[in-house]
Amino acid sequence: MQTHDSPPPDPGATVAAAARLARRIRRHSLQMVSSARLGHPGGDLSSADILATLYSGVLRINPRNPAEAGRDRFIMSKGHCSAALYAVLAESGFFPVERLGEYMKPLSMLNGHPDRNKVRGVEANTGPLGHGLPIAVGAAKAAKVQGASWRTFVLTGDGELQEGSNWEAAMAAAQFRLDNLTLIVDRNRLQQGDETERTVSLEPLAARWSAFGWAVREVDGHDLRALARTFGELPFEPGRPNCILARTHKGRGVSFMEDRVEWHHKVPTEAELAAALLEIGEDPQ
């Protein structure tokens, strides 16, 4: 992560830091879901590289003062992937990593869906889908009204885009010319029950966002270098909100979870957890 006064990050170092962070997000997420016997590991893993990139130099935030008025806002609209969000916040210094073990335990601050009044670094209470983008539009508009330079980022799922409130927000963002707003879609092509295209089709998704007045980029959502480069090019066009369609795979990083719809909210057994952690690997010495 980058504070206001820190120098621009070195791209090579940023990618290495993001890779290390992504690995930790994946390990923590699976351990948390396994320990809680609840969660959404498929989406945690598909969004891990996006989160790791955002928190490795893109977001201008200060874990020592999470409420700093001029901070960039990151809103996790896919609140069910709370394990990945908590993991990246803890690894970024918002709260101790040891507390991840409390995930969904009785009276824990780490509820199944994030609560901004309990967890430092959480910007919005999400869980019901289609809430994050309207809130992000409001935050970005607030910066414009005040002439402030901080930016707003929001990560949605792809199935989530079936919620109509997103498209209300999409129209408003274009109308308000919110080029300080960036939507990242975790386009893993799977929703809870099936493929998005076999449920209610989202394609042609890039053309849809474009038609709604957004500047759209498509990127491999697991290519840390490409993600960093794409974020580095913001804003894509003056006067237009930014949409990054990140092509991802649900369960990415664990062969037996990848692109398997059941891992939306399946809990790994002890043996599966061990095998998954082995595949993900540990921090290099």
Q: Where does this chain bind other proteins (CB under 8 A)?
A: 69, 73, 115-117, 123-128, 130-131, 133-143, 145-146, 148, 152, 164-165, 168-169, 171-172, 175-176
Residue 185: strand pairing partners:
156, 245
- 89 contacts 122 by C-beta, under 8 angstroms: yes
C-alpha to C-alpha distance for 215 and 208, rounded to whole angstroms = 11
Q: Output Rg (C-alpha) for the chain, integer angstroms.
A: 18
Considering the complex, what minimum distance in angstroms separates the CB of residue 24 from other proteins? 27
**Nearer Cβ to other proteins (183/227):** 183
- 58 contacts 229 by C-beta, under 8 angstroms: no
**Nearer Cβ to other proteins (124/257):** 124
**Nearer Cβ to other proteins (45/174):** 174
Considering the complex, what minimum distance in angstroms separates the CB of residue 62 from other proteins? 16
181-187 and 242-247: which strand pairing? parallel
C-alpha to C-alpha distance for 67 and 184, rounded to whole angstroms = 23
Considering the complex, what minimum distance in angstroms separates the CB of residue 222 from other proteins? 29
**Nearer Cβ to other proteins (157/268):** 157
**Nearer Cβ to other proteins (30/154):** 154
Please name the residue that has the structure tokens 């990139």: 53
C-alpha to C-alpha distance for 17 and 3, rounded to whole angstroms = 16
C-alpha to C-alpha distance for 207 and 213, rounded to whole angstroms = 10
- For 45, the 3-state DSSP assignment is helix
Considering the complex, what minimum distance in angstroms separates the CB of residue 131 from other proteins? 6
C-alpha to C-alpha distance for 97 and 88, rounded to whole angstroms = 9
Considering the complex, what minimum distance in angstroms separates the CB of residue 4 from other proteins? 16
What is the distance, to the nearest Å, from the Cα of residue 204 to the centroid of all Cα atoms in its chain? 22
**Nearer Cβ to other proteins (57/134):** 134
Q: Give one word for 38, left, alpha or beta, with left for phi > 0 and alpha for psi -120 to 50.
A: beta
Pick the closest to residue 190 from 25, 33, 43, 40 (CA basis).
Answer: 43
Considering the complex, what minimum distance in angstroms separates the CB of residue 166 from other proteins? 9
**Nearer Cβ to other proteins (116/265):** 116
Considering the complex, what minimum distance in angstroms separates the CB of residue 270 from other proteins? 35
